[in-house]
Amino acid sequence: MSEPRETFDADDLRELHRMMAVLRFLEERVKELRLAEEVRGSVHLALGQEAVAVGACAALAPIDTLTATYRGHGWAAAKGVPVVAILAELLGKEIGTNGGRGGSAYLSSADHLFLGENSIVGAGAPIALGPALASRYDGSGRVSLTVFGDGAINQGSVSEAFNFAAAFALPVVFVCENNGLSELTRIDEMVADDQLWRRAGGFGLPGVRIDGNDPVAVRTAVREAVERARAGGGPSLVEAMTERIAGHYIGDHELYRRPGEVEAALTREPLVRSRQRLRELGVSDADVDDVERGARDEVDAATATARDAELSQSSTVREHMYVDH
Amino acid sequence: MSITEHNEHRPVTAETADLSYVLAVNAALRRALDEVPEVILYGEDVAKGGGIFGATRGLASAFGDRVFDTPISESAILGSALGAAMLGRRPVVEIMWIDFALVALDQIVNQIANTAYVSRGRWRAPLVIRTQQGHLPGACAQHAQNLEAMFAHTPGLRVGLPYTTQDAYDMLLSAVHCDDPVLIIENRSLYFRERVPVAVNGPVQPIGAAAVRRAGSDATVVAWSAVLAEVLAAADELSGEGIEIEVIDLRWLNPLDEATVFASVRKTSRFAVVHEANLTGGFGGELVARVAERCLGDLDAAPRRVATPDLRIPAAPHLQQAVIPQVADITASLRQLVSE
Ligand SMILES: Cc1ncc(C[n+]2csc(CCOP(=O)(O)OP(=O)(O)O)c2C)c(N)n1
Ligand SMILES: [Mg+2]
């Protein structure tokens, strides 16, 4: 793994910590709402994976676009989508990102250039070629970032996207969020070479594996890739190593876990790690508690607003299929 | 291998087991692996994890390397199943959601479906694709489609949709023993229905044949898969009003048992079809056309279709309810049908 070459100070890390805490509390809230059946259907939590979304989005400019996966509530929030709009979407409210049409696994926000989550594994990678292609014609300097899981790398569409982007030097950043698992299956049993970043070389794009539980390391690697892409240097692959500390979906019995795996992951998850680092930078635990309290208040307030909001109107359910309807 | 050959393998003793739908699927797969040495079973999460819905639980430990997990690579799953079937295996592969078949449609439509015809039968593709479809509250637009008509439109592919728990067992076994490629489309809303006694170990049935689930004289309603629950509830409600609906569970879209449908329509003189799939291009249109071609003179009213309107499927439960056929939509349509 490459070391972060970027310097950071306590204020910088405190802000990254705050954003990761927002994502953490958002997912915990989603879990509660799902268990209470206020939210229905599958929800896929990114608990433990907050540093990837926060670090990567911190390296993006507002003109840059993002495609993500069903495990994308945190990516949406990190891209700037208000937490209240995300929660309201899951609750089927009019003020939700998609007025309940998208739901937990397929939400998007045009206002934030969040092209959306995707519930078809690997589908976001080809789509992400498009904003990059468009930037060639519109001169915007836009970079397109796409995130997918380790398992998704075995989907043909992802390989097609690697080559297409590399062949035309498109400004795309591919982020592979490697949590070691695809639902109930371990990635190392599904590939002969589990150094997934090495696939990049075969397509002629730079690849790097980084510590995905360190938001600074993620930001550094993604920033480098974004700058290269913006300067015309083409696409890159960043493999961010992380761990999901929850089931694939709520109700997952997680029988595929090895003994002690989750316990070990809990000692190195992003919030624990960054609290430790803040301590080393002289930020007291009480200060960090304050930061986290602020994040929790934000999620609580968003929850209250989302709960109080109106359900989306059934009478409009047939609208928007075509431009003139 | 033909059905009769397989039945000769062991004496048939009637047995029943109390099974849920998903356990019936599991029992059929276990029997297929047990009785047909050529069967291999694979797909995403099917082996160690036992399947995301538990349909394949326990099979990997019982059958070793004949049951295995695959990468998330639907084209490779389906293409390898075809090639292995051409060389003597009888693969049973799982596509976790029918929506994911779309990333590998080429292997189904251009490859699997062409194999027997273009080789004039020198190649066969005796494989089974098991999948499931349909909406559940909160399921997003990429996990809630009903795509059976698309596959029924593909000549060369057999298509079955089991509704009863007995059929979850029987139709899957029939599919394994069939020498054509068969797509079995289950519905995950049925998986965890209450356990019922299921006849296991009985003779393997040929594919085909619709089933009359409820006899009636006032109108014929054809449906398949999960929406039959709503259709049967609607029929019960109408019975209280003195309207007797004959409900046919089509079971197979290919081969299509027209005879059962036509015989019923000739008896009732009224015809409707109900499906969760959207209206345009839905299989209901095909049935209405065939009834019109063959039974027009017997009809006392125009045929009706109850279906989801031509929309994408919203995730929010209350929005889904507004567009997916509910019991009240079905009773309303049938009341009109019989009053015409
Ligand atoms: C084309 C397709 N195949 C299968 C699935 C079912 N599925 C949903 S999530 C998932 C695992 C994906 O694993 P990974 O890419 O590592 O992402 P993670 O869930 O770990 O974030 C699978 C197989 C799907 N949604 N789409
Ligand atoms: Mg993964």
Q: Map A245-278 to HEC letters.
A: CCCCCCCCCCCCCCCCHHHHHHHCCHHHHHHHHH
Give B12's pLDDT tier (boundaries 50, 70, 90): very low
Domain assignment present for A319: no
Bond before B255 cis per omega within 30 degrees = yes
Which residues of B fall within a CB distance of 8 Å from A39? Answer: 138
Which tens digit of pLDDT belongs to each residue from B269-311?
999 999 999 999 999 999 999 999 999 999 999 999 999 999 9
Distance B99 CA to ligand 1 centre (A): 13
Judge if the beta carbon of residue A119 lies within 6 A of ligand 1.
yes
With the most atoms of ligand 1 within 8 angstroms of its CB, the residue from A73, A117, A121 to mutate is A121
- Strand, coil or helix: what is A104? coil
What pLDDT shows up at residue A3?
53
What pLDDT shows up at residue B283?
98
Residue-wise DSSP of A276-289? HHHHHTT--HHHHH
Does domain B3-199 sit in CATH 3.40.50.970? yes
Domain with A234, as residue range(s), is 10-306
Count Cβ atoms below 10 Å from residue B229 Cβ, excluding itself.
Answer: 16
Contact B39, B65 (CB under 8 A): no
Contact A73, A30 (CB under 8 A): yes
Matching fold, domains B3-199 and B211-339:
yes
Domain assignment present for A66: yes
What pLDDT shows up at residue B11?
45
Which tens digit of pLDDT belongs to each residue from B36-64?
999 999 999 999 999 999 999 999 999 99
Question: Which tokens hold the place of B133?
Answer: 């479809």
Global ipTM:
0.96
Count Cβ atoms below 10 Å from residue B302 Cβ, excluding itself.
Answer: 12
Domain assignment present for A311: no
> Is B135 marked active-site?
no
**CB contact A183 to B (< 8 Å):** yes
Cα Rg, chain B, nearest whole Å = 20
Mean pLDDT by 10 residues, chain A (325 residues): 67 97 98 97 97 98 98 98 98 98 98 98 98 96 98 98 98 98 96 98 98 98 98 98 92 89 94 97 97 98 98 97 87
Taking the CA of residue A150 as reference, the ligand 1 atom at the shortest distance is: 16
Give B248's pLDDT tier (boundaries 50, 70, 90): very high
Domain count, chain A: 1
Domain assignment present for A129: yes
**Where along chain B do its domains lie?**
3-199, 211-339
Paired residues of B43 in beta bridges: B69, B94
pTM here?
0.96
Which tens digit of pLDDT belongs to each residue from B149-185?
999 999 999 999 999 999 999 999 999 999 999 999 9
Distance A107 CA to ligand 1 centre (A): 17
What pLDDT shows up at residue A251?
84
- Rounded Cα distance, A271 and A214, in Å: 9
- Strand, coil or helix: what is B28? helix
Which residues of B fall within a CB distance of 8 Å from A311? Answer: 316, 318
Question: Which tokens hold the place of B23?
Answer: 């356990």
Whose Cα sits closest to atom 11 in ligand 1?
A182
- Catalytic choice (B6, B9, B135, B143): B143
Test B311 with A92 for CB contact under 8 angstroms: no
Does domain B211-339 sit in CATH 3.40.50.920? yes
Of the candidates A39, A189, A191, the beta carbon closest to that of B69 is on A189
A139 contact partners, CB below 8 Å, separation of at least 6: none
What pLDDT shows up at residue A5?
59
Query: Is the predicted pLDDT of residue B5 greater than 60, yes or no?
Result: no
Give B13's pLDDT tier (boundaries 50, 70, 90): low
Domain assignment present for A156: yes
What pLDDT shows up at residue B59?
98
What pLDDT shows up at residue A250?
85
- Rounded Cα distance, B332 and A89, in Å: 32
